[in-house]
Amino acid sequence: LRAKSYYSFGISLHAALQRFHDSEDKGVQTVAEAVASLEENWVSAGYDSPEEAAEALAEGRELVAAYVESPAARDPLATTLFVEKQLRKDMGAFELVGRLDRVDEYPDGRLEIVDYKSGIGYSEEGLLSDVAMNSYQLLLRTKMPNRRVFSTVIMLKTQERVSVEPDEETLREFEEAIVSIGTEILNREYAEIEPKPKPLCVNCDFLDLCLRHPEFAEGYSEIAADEGNKPIAQL
Ligand code: SF4
């Protein structure tokens, strides 16, 4: 797959914040230490030029520094239980696996799943139907049952927090949907599926593979021409 700069940027930020919130890591507690941690963990893959990577690193330094000093970083009443924690849940025919950025616990026993985002525009409504966050909910509620569990996103660019508490019914429906989609994926005959060209193929990492299919390649060239997208000759 082609490296993408936004993944590298997100991975670098996550690594710096992981060290900042890791209670066993007493070496990263100040702005300067958090920025140094970002520099140590900087992933430069996917940038078009050294200048673009340097600009991104400068933005990353600003975001990390602003985050460390922001009240959004962590409620003083909360204790961090886990950082970058992988959890698993047996779903019958398959296992659900997720890596949670951070889990905080409040004195009244409620838990908060915290997810860092380098993008903006997250809403309560979106968070309630977010597949990754609801998967984290299922995983954490299985590991630590009978607790109230909140889903929280921190937008690093603006230091805003959005937080929701999905109800049992929402999560039950979500679990049913995951089981049904997972079962369908497991039982499909992939060798018989033919790729169909569509506008989103332009940005797909698997485009080169689908283009080996002659009918797909023909249909895709029309889409690429219609939309002014990259023609096949440049792929
Ligand atoms: S290019 Fe990607 S999105 Fe398009 S058909 Fe192939 S796998 Fe699906």
Q: What's the predicted TM-score (pTM) here?
A: 0.80
Q: Which pLDDT score, from 0 to 100, does residue 2 have?
A: 66
> Tens of pLDDT along 24-69?
677 788 889 999 999 999 999 999 999 999 999 999 999 999 998 8
Residue 150's DSSP bridge partners are 112
Asked if residues 58 and 51 have their Cβ atoms less than 8 Å apart, the reply is no
Is there an atom of ligand 1 within 6 Å of 224 CB? no
Residue 230 pLDDT more than 90?
no
**DSSP string of 166-235?**
--HHHHHHHHHHHHHHHHHHHH--GGGPPP---GGGGG-TTHHHHTTSHHHHHHHHHHHHHTT---GGG-
Tell me if 1 CB under 6 Å of ligand 1. no
Q: 103 with 112: CB under 8 angstroms? A: yes
Could you read off the pLDDT of 111-143 as tens digits, one per residue?
999 999 988 899 999 999 999 999 999 999 999
Ligand 1 centre to CA of 206 (Å) is 6
Compare 202 and 165 and report the one with higher pLDDT.
Answer: 165
Euclidean distance between CA atoms 224 and 232, whole angstroms: 8
Instruction: Report the side by side order of strands in the sheet with 79-90.
Output: 79-90, 95-105, 111-117, 149-155, 160-164
For Cα atoms 183, 188, 194, give the angle at the middle one, nearest 5 degrees: 145
Is ligand 1 within 6 A of the CB of residue 207? yes
pLDDT at 192: 84
Per the DSSP assignment, residues forming a β-bridge with 97 are 88
Probe target for ligand 1 pocket from 206, 211, 232, with the most ligand atoms within 8 Å of CB: 206
**Average pLDDT of the segment spanning 167-184:** 94
